[in-house]
Structure 1
């Protein structure tokens, strides 16, 4: 089992934050209800928001709080007999203050057995490690589990440790443990296609090699589940060319951000960010950049 000591020894930047089990917000109609659930949160140094940008400039843009708190927002879509989760939180073995999804599900009146699908944006710890319960069995026993083939291949590949800095080796070890626990239930999917009717995956690789976002075609209008393509409520929008330390391929991630921001600002689609406070909002152009306006 991966303990907090092991994770921190591997160099994962993160500090304890208060646990917050809750329903963050709800969107949509009774027929297509989106419930955004908290998996808690953790704290990160301001310096992780941008490589090669002076600390004073980051502070001026992001605010003086260092470290800053980043929430974990799990999106749940209920439509008909389907109950679909987008990512499933960090589970018990990541950082203090995370792993609150089960309590938030209870707060929303959702039983694990009711979940029919879990669609992964990517396989980082705070999105993937919550897939197994304390007995290393799938937390949602009746669910289909879907992830991008390229993402699965990267994290479970024999050479993954050679392709990662030492401070990310714990990420790979955890991903391999979770993937082994899910076994053949973890289905391989391709980006750019519908994974379920009305739910299309969009290739937003860069943060990780197989990162995807999801475009939901709902009766009340389009919704985009971003994953970690846009992670900070100001920096990601006002400075999409800044390169966060968490992005594996910085230049590819910049290109993905710019494509998403352009599309979201043109379409007016609601956006749901895994790490955005309040989770849901819209994107507006602001001069040559953008801004996030909470719902």
Structure 2
């Protein structure tokens, strides 16, 4: 479980290794280009990568470093007059080491006014809290902001605190603050259909109740922006049955991972993970499980 103690430990560790703003990678032709931008990163205890798995077993898969450092990748799709972001980072109020998106946008030559759409995989802090600037105004003033109705309903419900452990109440309070700041600009859509022409929201619940991933084509290749449906470059693929502490419904998340891995490997999809080093790669069958190979 993602507790306040673990978050504070992660935050303290992150102070020692701040991440630089950067363009992680670019994929595809200029007319339909994917640019993956860093929002920095933070560190967390190895124990968070899998509930009820001994730390030494986790370390055998990840290496001995504890805490473990995770990256934050924000995907940008430019096609014609559209400039689409998938999630928008943590902003200034999450863990030290995160919140680097504005600097990465500058490094990529992208002005906030040019962003036309922001599509959210889910409303966790490192994906949603970057929506507002330092003046609590929408960071991208000309954008449409799109999120799953089920996800919005969960985090903004008055009784959400009754459905969460006390140590995750800050997630709900932050989500409600950002949702209020966006106001009517935050559009509610249903998973399972196209949110924009050619971009489908695929239901990938488990990590959160309304988590979605986004499937589309770019440069003639199938692409899926995964959000947090797959979060570790080794464990999520080799051990999809392991249960990360950040998954809200662990059983549903396991089923989602297995289904996604089957689909991604069968379709030879370019998979883009918010927390995967290198961000983009392919999923391949590997014995009884899978492996991820970064592009």
Structure 2 length-normalised TM: 0.96
In the other structure, the counterpart of 2:173 is 173
* 1:93-134 CA distance string (max 9 Å, x none): 101111100000000000000000000000000000000000
1:94 aligns with 2:94: yes
In the other structure, the counterpart of 1:73 is 73
SS of equivalent to 1:205: coil
Query: Do the aligned residues in 2 keep the contact of 1:33 with 1:78 (CA within 8 Å)?
Result: yes
Matches within 5 A, 1:48-67: 48-67=48-67
In the other structure, the counterpart of 2:228 is 228
SS of equivalent to 1:261: helix
* 1:53-107 CA distance string (max 9 Å, x none): 1111111112111111100000000000000000000000101111100000000
* 1:188-220 CA distance string (max 9 Å, x none): 010010000110010000000000000012242
Question: Counterparts of 2:9 and 2:84 in 1: how far apart (Å)?
Answer: 30
Which of 49-58 and 127-136 deviates more? 49-58
Question: Counterparts of 1:169 and 1:190 in 2: how far apart (Å)?
Answer: 25
Query: Do the aligned residues in 2 keep the contact of 1:85 with 1:119 (CA within 8 Å)?
Result: yes
Question: Counterparts of 1:55 and 1:114 in 2: how far apart (Å)?
Answer: 45
Query: Do the aligned residues in 1 keep the contact of 2:89 with 2:130 (CA within 8 Å)?
Result: yes
Q: Which runs of 5+ in 1 are unaligned?
A: 1-6
In the other structure, the counterpart of 2:10 is 14
- The size of the alignment, in residue pairs, is 289
Query: Do the aligned residues in 1 keep the contact of 2:7 with 2:44 (CA within 8 Å)?
Result: no
Q: CA offset at residue 245 of structure 1?
A: 0.3
Which of 145-154 and 16-25 deviates more? 16-25
SS of equivalent to 1:139: coil
Runs of 4+ in 1 over 3 A off after TM superposition: 7-13
Q: CA offset at residue 20 of structure 1?
A: 1.6
- Flag the 1:266–1:18 CA change in 2: closer, same or farther, 3 A: same
* 1:264-284 CA distance string (max 9 Å, x none): 110101000000001000000
SS of equivalent to 1:260: helix
Q: Which runs of 5+ in 2 are unaligned?
A: none
Question: Counterparts of 2:201 and 2:9 in 1: how far apart (Å)?
Answer: 29
Question: Counterparts of 1:286 and 1:11 in 2: how far apart (Å)?
Answer: 34
Query: Do the aligned residues in 2 keep the contact of 1:38 with 1:100 (CA within 8 Å)?
Result: yes
Question: Counterparts of 2:261 and 2:8 in 1: how far apart (Å)?
Answer: 28
Question: Counterparts of 2:231 and 2:9 in 1: how far apart (Å)?
Answer: 16
Matches within 5 A, 1:1-295: 14-15=10-11, 16=14, 17-295=17-295
Question: Counterparts of 2:9 and 2:268 in 1: how far apart (Å)?
Answer: 34
- Flag the 1:208–1:244 CA change in 2: closer, same or farther, 3 A: same
